[in-house]
Chain A
Amino acid sequence: MKASGNLSDRIFNIANTIFMLLIVLVTLYPFWYVVVVSFSTIDHVVGNDFILWPNGLHWDAYEQVFRNNLIPTAYRNTLFVTIAGTLLSMLLTILGAYVLSLRNLPGRTGLTLFVVLTMLFGGGMIPYYLVVSSLGLIDSLWALIIPGCISSYNMILMRNFFQNVPDGLQEAAMIDGVGLTGYLVRILLPLSTSALATVTLFYAVGYWNDYFTSILFVRTRELWPMQRILREVLMTAEFQNMMYDDARQKMPPETLKNAMIVITVIPIICVYPFIQKYFVKGVMIGSIKG
């Protein structure tokens, strides 16, 4: 397609470019806004239509947020859940995906159906809650990990990837006598690093962003992850009062909430430019059926 110089084409290009810039603005401005407000004093924010810059760098809101012991604890909880959860998820997902990818395994169809059926039908929230409760997992960090640690979608994704590895490799490995586990560990996994990276990141971002599991299973505040604390600060008056335990401060709630949002979202914004290409790859593998 060659660029043509006629007028309507040029108008289209200009309008289209402006439209794209508008999309960029609408996508990024909310983040910029919360950063700006979190560093500003409240009189700068009230009644100001379109805030572009903070009036100075006021760290008071951050000091106030971190004065509350719950925030460092919540950060630790989120880190633990993300790391331990991703490891466990990857272990189980690799095992499942590998076995489902073995072409000549008797019963493979049945096992695949066993997994796929759960993507179509489930017991729903209450029976799920009762099962987790009967296992004694309620009110523990493990409740944020174990009940949801396998995503069938991710498992099928990885199975599709494993299936694309030529069969001949496996046969050769079997003749060499490495066994099924040896083949997985020594040959298949080193060949699948990009798929492993993709699925690892799917899980890690999922754990990091999860708040609903803690609403279902965790009541103790000291066990809440960051995202849950943020939700309670935003949505419940009780929790807002708790952030004000210090009588000296006269911080308006908006500034404090903005600081909370910033410290919750900063890690994701920092890693996202580096991980987004793996995510895109995952979407591509997912759209090719095996």
Chain B
Amino acid sequence: MRTMSKSLTYSRPSAAQRRWKAVRRNWEAYLLFLPVLVWYVIFCYMPMGGLVIAFKQFSPIKGIADSPFIGMANFTRIFSTPSFLAAVRNTLILSALNLIIVFPIPILFAILLNEIRHQRFKKIVQTISYLPHFISWSVVGGLLYMLMAPQTGAINNLIVAFGGEAKNYMGISQYFRTIAVGSTIWKTMGWSAIVYIAAITNVDEQLYEAAYIDGAGRLRRIWHITLPGIRSTIAVLLILQIGSIMNSNFDQIFMLVNDMTLDVGETIDYYIYRIGLSASNNFSLATASGMIKSVIGFVLVVAANALSKKISDGEGIW
């Protein structure tokens, strides 16, 4: 970690006193940080402490402290619950689709956009491509429901025009993943491309000129110069995304999933919400599910960051 301080190497005996003096001299800074500290303790560290209910049979009436301790029972139970295992599977499948299908698309878009010569057109396309990033998932969900509506939706009508069948696509499990992946692409492509576009502008222009003189065509220049030039950016972002495969996009899933598509659409996050706060109030079981997710997620993120540091010469995310 970059921010690690140099250890104090004062040789004189007054080191502790000097440190204390430095602390006192900066009292104002600690005072300024106090509200921030309090917020973090309450809204981040107290919930971590609250994880203890994963090991208890929590009842809201008895409170956290007085609920009976039952050891690992919640965990053994959760691992033999079919709907939890299905949620893990659904989460991993969606993450895999995001890695395989969604991830490469902004790279492709950035490369192709870079090949546009007309600067003004390029700028306009790029700016429009950001737009979906600013739109909430409730609106994106709304657009999807409207475009897919069986009688009136543009997509449904288009499918019918091409000889297909009008269906309520939002309510059929079979189409859930297609819709989830498609809407993620629509919402994130332009925004995710920013980093790649910036990386491409850093590729040495002389390389292109040399390749051009050597007679390399456009596609070969893209393949042999542009792509290798942004390789480390791609690698870092890929690893970071692998680090978050236990997560699903909450806001998105909450808009798309309904009773008809729950079998493929329920991710771990949604499962926790459903058994903890919505369909039932099984706080302990839901917390245990969340803890499994957090622990695996933590290990993955730390590993991913270590790996990305290696690849990009010490540039991790922190």
Residues of A bordering B, CB below 8 Å: 1-4, 8-9, 12-13, 16-17, 19-20, 23-24, 26-31, 33-34, 37, 42, 45-51, 92, 95-96, 98-99, 102, 104-109, 111-116, 118-132, 135, 146-150, 156, 179-181, 184, 205, 208-212, 215-216, 227-228, 230-231, 234-235, 252, 254, 257-258, 260-261, 264-265, 268-269, 272-273, 275-276, 279-280, 283-284, 287, 289-290
Which residues of chain B come closer than 8 Å to A48, judged between CB atoms? 157
Which residues of chain B come closer than 8 Å to A95, judged between CB atoms? 32-33, 35-36
Q: Which residue of B lies closest to A127 (CB)?
A: B50
Instruction: Tell me, rounded to whole Å, the shortest Cβ–Cβ distance linking B55 to chain A.
Output: 12
Query: Which of B77-85, B94-102, B172-180, B190-198 sits within the interface?
Result: B190-198
Which residues of chain B come closer than 8 Å to A28, judged between CB atoms? 128, 131
Task: Give the complex CA separation of A277 and B75 in angstroms.
Answer: 47
- Are the C-beta atoms of B273 and A231 separated by less than 8 Å? no
- Are the C-beta atoms of A115 and B40 separated by less than 8 Å? yes
- Are the C-beta atoms of B40 and A118 separated by less than 8 Å? yes
Task: Give the complex CA separation of A17 and B121 in angstroms.
Answer: 9
Task: Give the complex CA separation of A131 and B302 in angstroms.
Answer: 27
Which residues of chain B come closer than 8 Å to A118, judged between CB atoms? 40, 44-45
Question: B229: CB under 8 A from chain A?
Answer: no
Q: Is chain A's binding surface mostly helix, strand, loop or mixed? A: helix
- Are the C-beta atoms of B145 and A128 separated by less than 8 Å? no
Which residues of chain A come closer than 8 Å to B169, judged between CB atoms? none
Instruction: Tell me, rounded to whole Å, the shortest Cβ–Cβ distance linking A4 to chain B.
Output: 8
User: Which of A123, A184, A272 gathers most chain B CB within 10 Å?
Assistant: A123
- Are the C-beta atoms of A46 and B151 separated by less than 8 Å? yes
Q: Given that A34-B143, A37-B146, A264-B139 are contacting pairs, would A120 and B298 also be in contact in the complex, using a CB cutoff of 8 Å?
A: yes
Contact sample, A vs B, 24 pairs, CB 8 Å cutoff: A2-B212, A17-B116, A31-B143, A34-B142, A49-B161, A92-B36, A99-B30, A106-B26, A107-B23, A109-B5, A116-B318, A120-B302, A123-B47, A125-B272, A125-B273, A126-B50, A128-B50, A149-B39, A209-B134, A210-B136, A215-B254, A254-B146, A280-B130, A283-B195
Q: Given that A106-B22, A215-B254 are contacting pairs, would A111 and B146 also be in contact in the complex, using a CB cutoff of 8 Å?
A: no
B64, B116, B189, B277: the one contacting A216 at CB < 8 Å is B277
Which residues of chain B come closer than 8 Å to A31, judged between CB atoms? 143
B134, B251, B255: the one contacting A268 at CB < 8 Å is B134
Which residues of chain A come closer than 8 Å to B46, judged between CB atoms? 123, 127, 131
- Are the C-beta atoms of A33 and B254 separated by less than 8 Å? no
Instruction: Tell me, rounded to whole Å, the shortest Cβ–Cβ distance linking A211 to chain B.
Output: 5
Question: B307: CB under 8 A from chain A?
Answer: no
7 A-B pairs with least C-beta separation: A127-B50, A123-B47, A124-B290, A209-B136, A127-B47, A96-B36, A118-B44
